[in-house]
C-alpha cells in the first residue's frame, strides 16, 4: 500500500532532518542559527504537497539523473528508446521516475540518526533494461554531517546514475546572495537543451570559475556568457577535481547566517542549478541544487565515465552534506 511516511533524524547539536518515502526525499534540513532551528532547504510544509511536485525538491533522481539526448542509447548492441519527458530528451529517468515512487522504509534500520529506503525498478521500467534493486541510506552524525549512501544491483546490463536534488538556501530568502566555492577546473559544454556537446571546457577566465568563493547572484547577473544568459543562470555540469573524499568538493556559504555547507562525494561531477524554473509557491532562484552525479549523457559519449552497471556488480556512491557555524 502506498502511503506517505516521514522519518526524523536528530543529533545533540540541534540539527533535524526529515526524510519522506515518496522519492526517498530530503523534506527538510534544520540547523541552528543563533540557537534557533532554521530551515536550510527549500520545501513544502507538508509531506502531502510533494505528491504534485514537479521540481524534484529533495528527491532521489534516477534511474539515470539529468538528461539523455533524444531518450536514446545503445547498450551491448541493442538500441533503447526511453520515455521523453523533457522535449525530445529523457530527464531524471522518465515521466514516472524514482522521485515519484513510494520507497520502502526498512523498519529495522530506523533510528534517531539513520534510515534506509529501498526500491525495485522492474525490467523495462521507463524503457531501461534489467530489474534494478536500489537502496538509499541516510545518516546524521553528531558533527552535523548528513550522508547519503546509494547502492544498487541489476540482473541485466543496464544504466544507472543517481543523485539528490535538494534545493539549498541556508536560511536565506534565495540563493543569489550565497557564496559558492566549487573545486572544479573544467565543465561540460552544453547546448540550449542542456545536452553536452562532448567538449570539456576550462573554467579559467570565465564565469564558471568558482575556485575561489564567488557570490552566485553577482556571477550570473553580470555575465556576458551566452549559455548563462540563455539558461537564465546556472544549469551546468562541473567536473570535480580529483581530490581525496575527505576534502570538500564544494562549499556553500551564507554570510548573513554565518553558516557554511560542505559537500563531500565520490561522484565525478556536480550539476549546479540555480533554480530559474521554480514555480508555484516558489520563485526563481529561491534555492540552488548541487547535484553530485556522473557526467551528463555519459552513455552517448564514449570519452565520458560509464553509467553501465552489469550483473554481479554493485553500484555504490556517496554524498555528504556537512554543516557548520562560521568562526567570526
Count Cβ neighbours within 10 Å for each residue of 183-198 and write b for 16 or more, e otherwise: bbbbbbebeeebbbee
10 Å CB burial of residue 238 (0-12, 13-18, 19+) is buried
- Which one of 165, 172, 176, 236 is the catalytic residue? 165
Alpha helices in the chain, H assignment, sequence order: 216-221, 226-230
Task: Find out whether 252 and 260 touch, Cβ atoms under 8 Å.
Answer: yes
CA 141 to chain centre: 20
165 belongs to the catalytic site: yes
- Contact (Cβ atoms closer than 8 angstroms) between residue 161 and residue 293: yes
Residue 291 a catalytic site member: yes
Q: Where are the alpha helices (DSSP H) in 87-212?
A: none
155's CB contacts (< 8 A; 6+ apart) are 123, 130, 131, 311
Catalytic residue, chosen from 18, 172, 176, 291, is: 291
Active site residues: 165, 291
Amino acid at each position: 500500500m502506498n502511503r506517505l511516511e516521514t522519518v526524523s533524524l536528530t543529533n545533540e547539536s540541534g540539527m533535524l532532518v526529515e526524510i519522506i518515502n515518496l522519492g526517498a526525499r530530503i523534506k527538510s534540513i534544520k540547523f541552528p542559527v543563533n540557537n534557533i532551528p532554521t530551515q536550510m532547504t527549500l520545501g513544502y510544509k507538508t509531506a502531502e504537497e510533494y505528491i504534485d511536485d514537479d521540481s524534484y525538491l529533495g528527491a532521489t533522481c534516477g534511474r539515470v539523473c539529468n538528461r539523455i539526448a533524444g531518450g536514446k542509447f545503445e547498450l551491448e548492441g541493442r538500441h533503447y528508446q526511453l520515455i521523453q519527458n523533457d522535449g525530445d530528451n529523457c530527464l531524471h529517468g522518465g515521466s514516472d521516475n524514482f522521485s515519484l515512487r513510494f520507497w520502502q522504509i526498512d523498519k529495522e534500520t530506523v533510528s534517531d540518526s539513520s534510515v534506509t529506503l529501498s526500491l525495485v525498478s522492474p525490467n523495462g521500467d521507463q524503457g531501461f533494461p534489467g530489474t534494478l534493486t536500489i537502496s538509499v541510506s541516510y545518516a546524521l552524525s553528531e558533527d552535523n554531517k548528513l550522508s547519503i549512501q546509494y547502492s544498487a544491483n541489476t540482473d541485466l546490463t543496464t544504466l544507472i546514475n543517481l543523485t539528490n536534488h535538494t534545493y539549498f538556501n541556508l536560511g536565506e530568502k534565495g540563493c543569489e546572495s550565497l557564496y559558492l566555492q566549487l573545486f572544479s577546473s573544467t565543465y561540460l559544454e552544453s547546448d540550449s537543451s542542456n545536452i553536452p556537446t562532448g567538449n570539456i571546457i576550462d573554467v579559467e577566465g570565465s564565469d564558471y570559475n568558482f575556485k575561489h568563493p564567488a557570490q552566485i547572484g553577482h556571477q550570473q547577473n553580470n555575465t556576458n556568457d551566452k549559455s548563462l544568459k540563455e539558461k537564465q543562470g546556472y544549469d551546468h555540469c562541473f567536473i570535480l577535481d580529483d581530490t581525496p573524499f575527505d576534502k570538500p568538493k564544494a562549499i556553500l556559504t551564507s554570510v548573513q547566517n554565518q553558516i557554511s555547507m560542505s559537500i563531500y562525494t565520490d561522484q565525478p561531477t556536480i550539476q549546479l542549478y540555480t533554480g530559474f524554473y521554480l514555480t508555484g509557491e516558489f520563485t526563481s532562484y529561491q534555492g540552488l541544487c548541487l547535484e553530485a552525479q556522473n557526467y551528463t549523457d555519459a552513455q552517448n559519449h564514449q570519452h565520458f565515465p560509464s553509467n553501465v552497471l552489469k550483473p554481479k556488480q554493485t553500484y555504490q556512491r556517496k554524498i555528504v552534506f556537512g554543516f557548520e557555524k562560521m568562526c567570526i
